[in-house]
Structure 1
Amino acid sequence: MALHERFYYQDAYQKEFTAEVLRQAEDENGRPYVVLSNTAFYPTGGGQPHDTGALQGIAVVDVEEVDGEIHHYLAESLQESGQVEGAIDWERRFDHMQQHAGQHILTASFVELFGFPTVSFHLGKELVSIDLEVEEVTEEQLRAAERLANDILLDNRPIETKWVTEEELDQYALRKQLAVTDEIRLVIIPDFDYNGCGGTHPKSTGEVGLISILGTEKQKRKTRVHFVCGGRVLKQLQKKNVELREASQLLSAPEDGVSEAIAKLQASHHVLEKSLEDAKETLLAVEAKELASSKEETAVIKAAFTNRTIQELQKLARLIAQEDECAIVFLVAKNDTKLQFVAARGSAVSISMKQVAADVLPLLNGKGGGSDAFVQGGGDRTMLADELLEAMERSCNKSSTN
């Protein structure tokens, strides 16, 4: 079946068709598919996703071109072997037509105004994107390209398709070089854009409806532009209105005052965060004094905790060591499947905390580091927290007798 003979190229608006079943089979993953004498189902290609719909009432879930054949993948095997009735999901098809045509127009707008070529195109379920071969695009450039694109829509210019030979290409000012040399299909917006394309498009630019650029992101040395066209613009507007209304209600602020209310909330949040940090520091200082005062005959102060960060253990151990220059501090926390510890010494103690860590880390299959005065580490929960504290104290006692 030649490319130009397929129903979706003869008439992109054809929703139903009749065709003969030429072959039924399954792919390597066991998915049933059929090959037809002709089809209105567009296969994935050129950045445009495949159509969906039904054959004899059975859902068509995927469509691919494989070695020149169009495979219609079905939700279940087709029983008929003769003539079948097909129907495409028109809402999905027309959405793809709007997005694809809108991409052509926006791409041409960036070239027309700034000479920024598009190097790739992606048509997603909610958003569409193009990658521009330029590292930075300003907000003013984005809005200018968006305005020009929408002006082309308002002009309601025809969108023409034409099959040409390689020899005929010189007659057209193509936007970019073509990779194909036979069965060349051009999509033309007169006096604006000439481009080789195998996708489906509406008959005029007005049917695209509207083009809205939503934002950009850096993509290596390129700029990715996210946008929507046609019915997707309305969906995005509705979605944003719902979000704005809910935010307005949560903030008890009018919709046009949401940003101001958020700024006040952030300022208040920062104050609360600072107050919370100050309170935590005060509590740690009190806890350090209590632990320091709990020291009995030996110089060792030890404690086990559950779900406590290594940062808190570090602060607590340093505060205790500052409180008591003769103290040796061992703190352990069990967090999920890990045991973490810190070991610190007061300024009057000479025992190496690095040696303590070296003795206990193999017991945990762990890693750690630090200095003779202060170390931290952690590893697997191969023992109880109290058992780890005992092992650290044994190491300390061994060092003190050597």
Structure 2
Amino acid sequence: MVTEKLYYQDQYMRSFTARLQKSDRDEKGHFYVILNQTAFYPTGGGQPHDTGTLNGVNVYDVVEIDGEVRHYIEEPAEIHETYITGEIDWNRRFDHMQQHTGQHILSAAFEEEFNYKTVSFHLGAEICSIDLEVESLPDEETAHVEKIANNIIMENRPVDTRWVSKEELSNFSLRKEVSVVDNIRLVIIPNLDYNGCGGTHPDSTGQVSSIKILHWEKQKKKKIRVYFVSGMRVLKQLDEKHKVIQELTNTLNSPQQDLNETAIRNLRMNQGLEKKVNELNMEMIEYEAESYIEQAESQNNWKIAKAIFYDRPMPELQQLAKRITAKSDGILVLLINGKGDKLQLVCSRSNDVVINMNDLVKNTLPVIDGKGGGSDSIAQGGGDRLISAEELMMELMNQAAGFKNE
């Protein structure tokens, strides 16, 4: 039951009528219909599928299996008539035609100018890309290729398609070997590109409108991935980037040509401020450490410095605990922090205190269904606020007393 492919007869066809041949569900339970003919292009050859409607019902996916074109639809109960009217989402179709033909032009230009072969193509929802078989790509080469590609577009060369046999292939200078032996379809841009392709294309390069290379990056196996857009996507990219630039000019109070310099200057200023804040924060922690040492409670042969905080960053608590034990001998530090519906704790000791902090924390954490750990000199953890911070401190004190009595 091979479906007749109307998109190869007329790629500009936006609506059509067909007879319902089959309706069924696939192995995943998704409903689809098969028609005797269709203008819906199925996913293949690097080009995404068309979308649209059948009798007003949305078509969300189109695939070809063994010559049958399956149209996946959202409301199977509505498709029951013998004759079906199909409507193609033309904006999506023409966008794909522009991107796909733009890729042909760009790949041919790279190969013609520098002998860089395209080994893969991706037509994304926003941006397209090709992978070039080359290790590096200088700026001047991409600028040159982009100029050549846009010149070809402005020349408005014809874009022809032709069905040929395997024997006839020798009459064409193909950019790469075709992947099929039967029903071979060539897309031809005279004096530029002869390529086996099953996708849809406009009938002239002028309809691609323009091509813009956005950026490129290195890939594995000595390849360069080039990101680009064609047609209406160029205007969309320009519009989006202009809005961002306009917002930045207002935010940074700087004209467009000075944005980079202004941004660098502000970043350096912020880095300097962050460094100063960190230095002041460390000075504050030093003073805090001295204060907690003075207030530490003596118990047996040790002193205990303890405190409860709320919404304080854990790195600060860890730094405070370290500074207290570095400044004083014979001291145990117990710090608790309440954060939302969570409780956190940090425990540390000076070198002459013989309590293992990792064991102390792990023995205490079950009361808050928590997790954590560390070394024998400093450990931390956190869990749910199943008890109050004061009750957790009492549990820590009791656990520490238990270690003393061992």
1:332 aligns with 2:336: yes
> How far apart, CA to CA, are the structure 1 residues paired with 2:394 and 2:110?
70
Tell me: CA distance 1:384–1:167, structure 2 relative to 1, closer, same or farther (3 Å): farther
Aligned partner of 2:379 in structure 1 is: 376
> How far apart, CA to CA, are the structure 1 residues paired with 2:356 and 2:40?
75
1:301 aligns with 2:296: no
> CA deviation digits over 1:125-166, x for unaligned, max 9?
211112223343232332222222222212222211111112
1:205 aligns with 2:205: yes
> Superposition pairs for residues 120-269 of structure 1, below 5 Å?
120-221=120-221, 222-269=223-270
Deviates more, 1:172-181 or 1:157-166: 172-181
Tell me: CA distance 1:291–1:231, structure 2 relative to 1, closer, same or farther (3 Å): same
1:312 aligns with 2:316: yes
Residue identity in the other structure for 1:53: G
Whether the aligned pair in 1 keeps the contact of 2:42 and 2:64 (CA below 8 Å) is yes
Whether the aligned pair in 2 keeps the contact of 1:327 and 1:349 (CA below 8 Å) is yes
1:91 aligns with 2:86: no
Residue identity in the other structure for 2:281: K
Q: Which runs of 5+ in 2 are unaligned?
A: none
> How far apart, CA to CA, are the structure 2 residues paired with 1:143 and 1:191?
21
Whether the aligned pair in 1 keeps the contact of 2:6 and 2:37 (CA below 8 Å) is yes
> CA deviation digits over 1:186-216, x for unaligned, max 9?
1111222111111000111121111101112
> How far apart, CA to CA, are the structure 1 residues paired with 2:119 and 2:71?
30
Deviates more, 1:97-106 or 1:274-283: 274-283
> How far apart, CA to CA, are the structure 2 residues paired with 1:56 and 1:274?
65
1:44 aligns with 2:49: no
> CA deviation digits over 1:260-280, x for unaligned, max 9?
332232222222212221232
> How far apart, CA to CA, are the structure 1 residues paired with 2:287 and 2:176?
71
Aligned partner of 1:343 in structure 2 is: 347
Tell me: CA distance 1:173–1:334, structure 2 relative to 1, closer, same or farther (3 Å): farther
Aligned partner of 1:21 in structure 2 is: 20
Deviates more, 1:191-200 or 1:356-365: 356-365
Deviation, structure 1 residue 227: 0.7
Whether the aligned pair in 2 keeps the contact of 1:341 and 1:378 (CA below 8 Å) is yes
> How far apart, CA to CA, are the structure 2 residues paired with 1:59 and 1:123?
22
Deviation, structure 1 residue 379: 4.8
Aligned partner of 2:277 in structure 1 is: 276
> CA deviation digits over 1:96-135, x for unaligned, max 9?
1010000111112222233332222221221111222334
Deviation, structure 1 residue 38: 1.1
Deviation, structure 1 residue 335: 4.8
RMSD (CA atoms): 2.6
Deviation, structure 1 residue 391: 4.0
How many residues matched?
399
> How far apart, CA to CA, are the structure 2 residues paired with 1:218 and 1:336?
44
Deviation, structure 1 residue 259: 2.3
> How far apart, CA to CA, are the structure 2 residues paired with 1:384 and 1:113?
73
Identity of matched residues, %: 45
Tell me: CA distance 1:22–1:354, structure 2 relative to 1, closer, same or farther (3 Å): closer
| Aligned-partner SS, 1:8 | helix
Residue identity in the other structure for 2:180: V
Q: Which runs of 5+ in 1 are unaligned?
A: none
> How far apart, CA to CA, are the structure 1 residues paired with 2:279 and 2:404?
38
> How far apart, CA to CA, are the structure 1 residues paired with 2:92 and 2:358?
66
| Aligned-partner SS, 2:38 | coil
> How far apart, CA to CA, are the structure 2 residues paired with 1:195 and 1:385?
72
Tell me: CA distance 1:52–1:348, structure 2 relative to 1, closer, same or farther (3 Å): closer
> How far apart, CA to CA, are the structure 2 residues paired with 1:297 and 1:367?
27
| Aligned-partner SS, 2:37 | coil
Deviation, structure 1 residue 358: 5.8
Tell me: CA distance 1:149–1:390, structure 2 relative to 1, closer, same or farther (3 Å): same
| Aligned-partner SS, 2:170 | helix
Tell me: CA distance 1:66–1:301, structure 2 relative to 1, closer, same or farther (3 Å): same
> CA deviation digits over 1:271-293, x for unaligned, max 9?
22122212322222222222222
Deviates more, 1:71-80 or 1:293-302: 71-80
> CA deviation digits over 1:301-346, x for unaligned, max 9?
1223334333212210122123332322122335567654333233
Tell me: CA distance 1:199–1:348, structure 2 relative to 1, closer, same or farther (3 Å): same
> How far apart, CA to CA, are the structure 2 residues paired with 1:92 and 1:313?
56
Aligned partner of 2:371 in structure 1 is: 366
Tell me: CA distance 1:88–1:357, structure 2 relative to 1, closer, same or farther (3 Å): closer
User: What TM-score do the two structures reach when normalised by structure 1?
Assistant: 0.89
Whether the aligned pair in 1 keeps the contact of 2:357 and 2:374 (CA below 8 Å) is no
Whether the aligned pair in 2 keeps the contact of 1:357 and 1:375 (CA below 8 Å) is no
